[in-house]
Chains A and B, each alone.
Chain A
Amino acid sequence: MKFAKILLMTMLITVIGFESQAQEKLTGQQIIENVYYREIGNDATSDLTMTLINSRGSERVREIKQFSKDYGKEEKSIMFFLSPADVRNTSFMNWSYDEAGRDDDQWIYLPALKKVKRISSDSKSDYFMGSDFTYDDLGDRHPSEDTHKLLREEKLNGEDCYVVESIPKEKGYMYSRTVTWVVKDKWIGMKKEFYDEDGDHLKTLSVEKYDKIDGYWVILHSEMHNVQKDHRTIMNLKNVQINIGIDDGMFTERMMKRGL
């Protein structure tokens, strides 16, 4: 099983309304930074349901309870797996840092082994739990890793959007480019198209539902469609609570072993 950075996944793309910079002409870089540096509150908890649908339409469902907390230059998150039955009580903890180039610290607790294991956080291109989302797709890709260009402005689902093309600086990265539709002032990526190394359309991320919860924009329903293999992954977020004062003790080995 592969795991991802959680917190950022929690909100996928959660945005507070920035003071409008839209009055000035923004660059592609600024737009993507506004999305990346969004504020998501000091702490949050939610129930995530991830539905994996294959090309024949059969579904596999993963249910996760997650918690996260922002410590300024450090962010901690913990994820408890509720289903399917064979991964129940597995937990995953991630500590991420603002410091440039510093890797996340990650641990996994496997109930069959009764052991908390430190794991490497190096593989950002890995898919998360067999889904169509990679670690990077879940929001962990720093804006400095791509060159961003504002292509145009257009309406999408009734929202005014910037359309930004991002090209990786790293040669051989799994995507040759991505194109993102960013909602003006809300800084939500409403849609994103991913193109593979050959330049062919690989996946499309679509945001189906978002809402303002405790003053923060939260994406509640999104879908990633792999158009080449016709896979889909649907992410649904429920029971979102923000700034509830989660105890520091939640992000410890004790809680990984104890579970919910």
Chain B
Amino acid sequence: MVTKLIKATLMLAMMTSMVSAQDLFLSGYARTYLGALTTGESEYSIIQNTFDLNFEHSRGDVYFKVNPFLYHYSEDELELGFRQAYMDLYFDSFDIRIGKQQIVWGKGDGVFITDIVSPKDMREFLLPEFSEIRVGVTSLKFNYYSGNSTFELVWIPVFTPTQMPDENSIWSIKPSYPLPYSIDYSNSDVKNKLSNSEIFAKYSLLSSEIDFEIMAGYSWDDDPTFHSDKILNPANGNVDSVILKPEHHRLTTLGGSFSTTIGPVVLRGEGAYYNGKHFQSTNPKYLDGTEEKDYIHYLLGIDYSIGDLKLSTQFIQQAILDYNDYLLKDEFENTMTFLASMDFLRETLNVELFSYIGLENGDALVRPKVTYDFIDGFQIQLGANLFFGDEGQFGRFDKNDMIYTKIKYSF
């Protein structure tokens, strides 16, 4: 492990030394992140050092960016990778971007409705920065511009699924199934072949009255569906356990989003219709324990200010169409988000409270934090992630309440 650390450090040092040699522009940050659980035995939930670097260079109408990152954990565990690594080609009315890139769509905050091009890293649930949650995908992106309109086409030749936490992680989510189960991952990979590509298209307009986006995608569901093989008890002929087989399915999506200003209020909306989603079901008609159902996911939100206090709230609903009671997932999932943020001391001190509230289960994730800029580019943050409730997407992590500090040096 020490050798690996030395190699990684040397590699980063070499890349850094290239900056002066080849006139690259270097920026990035170093961050120490220390988080402790406040429930149970107050164990540390994370000790992480991060180096995140950006190397950029441009020559005429060609530009490239490489964004390597390194996470170093307390047990000398290392994770090294590229968040992004791409080239841009600029033309008069269109651009082409080739390589590993994070692509962000939609007008919602902290919600993934039309923002489904880049998969998510959910190894620490929704807690990391969004730039760290979105996984870069190797793709070709074509943008055509006409006035204030943009047409965007994305081709992703190789599918990348959601990154899920390890089974032993405190963020691991066990599949909900009414019988004892084991998991067989043999069907969980999507083969790397041309016919398994993903394609997304988007038209967007930015205008004085309204900004909007219309999108379509022919992709894979980033989250697998758990199909089941029933195991019969030879003694009594009953099904007393199952083998769950996670499998990704093709998903066709149509959606859009908008944002406009009404006096002092910014009104935002985003919605999508998904075709091809498979849900777990106990309907005996379906032997593999899943049913295909279309569903919709949308939000409405407003941003406004009261004096220096900035506020934002969103209502989000996910609904399965043509619902039946055999489905394990609820027909509706209603969530609200609230954000309150205020700056002090000439904008060097920021106090923020962000929360997700699950309306079906009365659960919540509340995230207060205080950030202070000691000097420009040197920031200390203190915060907490507080989970409330017993079930639901937030309540199930009720034991994972955590306080944390992050110290970040940007350059």
Contact = CB atoms under 8 A, between A and B. Distances in A.
Given A112-B131, A120-B265, A123-B305, A249 B145 contact: yes
A244 interface: no
Contacts of B90: 258
Interface residues of B, number: 45
B129 A2 contact: no
29 contacts: A1-B347, A2-B347, A83-B376, A84-B376, A85-B27, A85-B377, A85-B410, A86-B377, A86-B379, A103-B261, A105-B261, A112-B130, A112-B131, A113-B104, A114-B104, A116-B211, A117-B107, A117-B259, A118-B211, A118-B259, A118-B260, A119-B266, A120-B305, A127-B347, A131-B346, A231-B346, A253-B150, A253-B204, A258-B88
B158 to A, nearest CB: 21
Given A103-B261, A105-B261, A88 B130 contact: no
B348 interface: yes
B264 interface: yes
Dominant SS at the B interface?
Answer: strand
Interface string A149-164: 0000000000000000
A52 B345 CA distance: 12
Nearest to A254: B145
A118 B347 CA distance: 21
B319 interface: no
A120 B102 contact: no
Interface of B: 27, 29, 88, 90, 95, 102-104, 106-107, 129-131, 134, 143, 145, 148, 150, 204, 206, 208, 211, 259-261, 263-266, 303-305, 308, 343, 346-348, 373, 375-377, 379, 408, 410-411
B150 A254 contact: yes
A84 B409 CA distance: 11
Contacts, number: 96
A88 B376 CA distance: 12
Contacts of A249: 145
Q: Chain B CB within 10 Å — which of A131, A253, A258 has the most?
A: A253
Nearest to A260: B58
B208 A127 contact: no
A122 B104 CA distance: 27
A116 B206 contact: yes
Contacts of B308: 126
B348 A130 contact: yes
Interface in A204-260: 231, 249, 252-254, 258
Contacts of B379: 86
